[in-house]
Amino acid sequence: MEKPWRLWGALEACLLTVCTWSWAVCRVSLLALILTFHLYGGFTLLGLILASVAGILYKFQDVLLYFPDQPSSSRLYVPMPAAIPHENVYIRTKDGVRLNLILLRYTAENSASAPTILYFHGNAGNIGHRVPNALLMLVNLKANVVLVDYRGYGKSEGEPSEEGLYQDAEATLDYVMTRPDIDKTKVVLFGRSLGGAVAIRLASCNPHRVAAIMVENTFLSIPHMAATLFSFFPMRYLPLWCYKNKFLSYRHVALCRMPSLFISGLSDQLIPPVMMKQLYELSPSRTKHLAIFPEGTHNDTWQCQGYFAALEQFMKELLKSHAREETAQGTTNVTII
């Protein structure tokens, strides 16, 4: 999830589209509502209004969630790292969509046994915008970093959807597992915001291929976020089937028993930080950590002092336990930085 004004701007655009589209029938609709109220009463009218709201949200919620065109050049230009060994790679998903990846290579000592981080970004921009963050991961964590643009983002084909993003994540993991120069026992998932939901889902479906997960400023689910962002009456009572995109991380995280790091910026103005704490509490992992950054905002927590120290400590513990193997006793720690 990115800046809140983008959500409101998209909502405004959706409402304008709906109004324009329905202008020809609005007078008939108004008459029908009046007749319904007089003939059947307020409860029936309220039910129709709720059904209409649900239909509109279902049709347009992709516009409210995915922002591949922001900034405006995101679909045209993907910045590449300079003076750093990297590969610009294209892969195919199982449903035939062509995706763009960037592989940043760690080439210092013991590079053959270096861990590999799969980086899943938020709902706007492209992988090039995350290169500065990924380079700091490479240096501080001594790891390869693979960034993937979801379908419909950057130079990847297709249109974004929940199931599509899940397939993109699976294809990225499959690709990494085919490379002979990557240690397959040290594959770690990282996801920020929407990418956190993608990472959690991928980890829940691949417990034997994923060594650990790190998620930052992500949410419990889209219905939880809808109730938070649009707190008026109908949103709190819409059934799950009304949501085209669900991203039920609160269910998926319950299947993630691998070592897990939950990173929370308490100054996040978009996703309530309490959701990160709830995900941490829902995690069944016996080696889980909650790193809290009081000054961390939604997109910039990675710039807080002590951020990479927290990630580095987590990775050191992971490597000591031989990647996928958890200790018998395990630990659950909260670190306030």
Q: Which positions are catalytic?
A: 193, 268, 298
Task: Tell me if 327 sits within 8 A of 258, measured CB to CB.
Answer: no
- Give the residue among 245, 89, 101, 94 at the shortest CA–CA distance from 170: 94
Residue type, 261: L
What's the Cα-to-Cα distance from 195 to each of 110, 243, 310, rounded to whole Å? 29, 19, 19
Alpha carbons within 13 A on the beta-carbon side of 26: 7
Which H or E run contains 319?
A: helix 307-320
Residue 26: burial class (beta carbons within 10 Å; 0-12, 13-18, 19+): exposed
Helices 162-178 + 194-205 axis angle, to 10: 60
Residue of 123, 234, 118 lying closest to 184 (CA atoms): 118
- In the chain, which ranges are E strands? 86-92, 98-104, 116-120, 144-148, 187-192, 212-216, 260-265, 287-293, 331-336
- Strand order, beta sheet including 260-265: 86-92, 98-104, 144-148, 116-120, 187-192, 212-216, 260-265, 287-293, 331-336
> How far is it, in rounded angstroms, from Cα 39 to Cα 25?
21
Instruction: Look up residue 298 and give its DSSP letter.
Output: T
